[in-house]
Amino acid sequence: MSSLTETSSHPSTTTININAPSNMIYDDNYLNYYNNFYIFKILLSYLGIKHEINQISEIDHLVLNKLQSYDQFPIKDTGDYFLAKSAVISRYISNNYNFSGKSLQESAIVDEIIEEILEIIEEIVLPNIKSKTINEKIKIIISTYFLCFEKTLSKSTYIAGGDDYTIADLYLYILYDYIKFFDGFAQDFYGKFPHLDALKQHFESNKEVSEFIKNNPISF
């Protein structure tokens, strides 16, 4: 779980402060948290957004008291924003920075793709990532998804079908990049899906993203 406050609502001057727990238990919930928070940090890097990450040992009681009627975040307070759950924050940021599609229809497609990718990551990839190996059945399932994504990208440079990259492309990049954590599996895919490879290259050629990945190697 992470939370966010903003010092300004204008994209060009916004500084984002992120409160992130420093003592998470390593379990499936941790993996889902890590995944969403990692995507969030890649998003901030790609968009070049100024931000500060504050490691905290527990949620601020003042914030917690505001959420007593909620089972989980987010909420919007008067004045500063109090948002939590990294995936929610990512969508909020992408909306604020015109990274969620330029039309209502495209935005809906972006949301649909993100939900599908999160389902693949959380139900198929993350449960198998600890062992770093993957059986033939899972391999076929993931192959089917990649074939569909590759077919879509062969018709449009952007996965949501618009005229520019969106957060859906970033989520797809993260999914495709995660394959490297399965020993003996990455070699069966990288280089065989040219449009997915090009998407991966696009994000990793971004200077801020490249620097973030270099300085913050992912560790599950």
Let me know whether 196 and 132 are in one domain: yes
Let me know whether 113 and 135 are in one domain: yes
Assigned domain for 10 exists:
no
Q: What is the reported pTM?
A: 0.79
Let me know whether 109 and 202 are in one domain: yes
pLDDT in tens, the chain (220 residues): 444 444 434 444 455 555 554 444 434 444 555 667 788 889 989 999 876 665 555 555 555 555 444 444 444 443 455 555 667 778 888 998 999 999 999 999 999 999 999 999 888 888 877 666 677 888 889 899 999 999 999 999 999 999 999 999 999 999 999 888 876 677 778 888 999 999 999 999 999 999 988 887 776 6
How many Cα atoms within 13 Å fall on the side-chain side of residue 128? 20
Let me know whether 117 and 199 are in one domain: yes
Let me know whether 85 and 115 are in one domain: no
37: domain CATH number is: 3.40.30.10
Let me know whether 151 and 174 are in one domain: yes
Q: Work out how many domains the chain is built from and give that number.
A: 2
Assigned domain for 68 exists:
yes
Name the residue range of residue 177's domain.
104-206
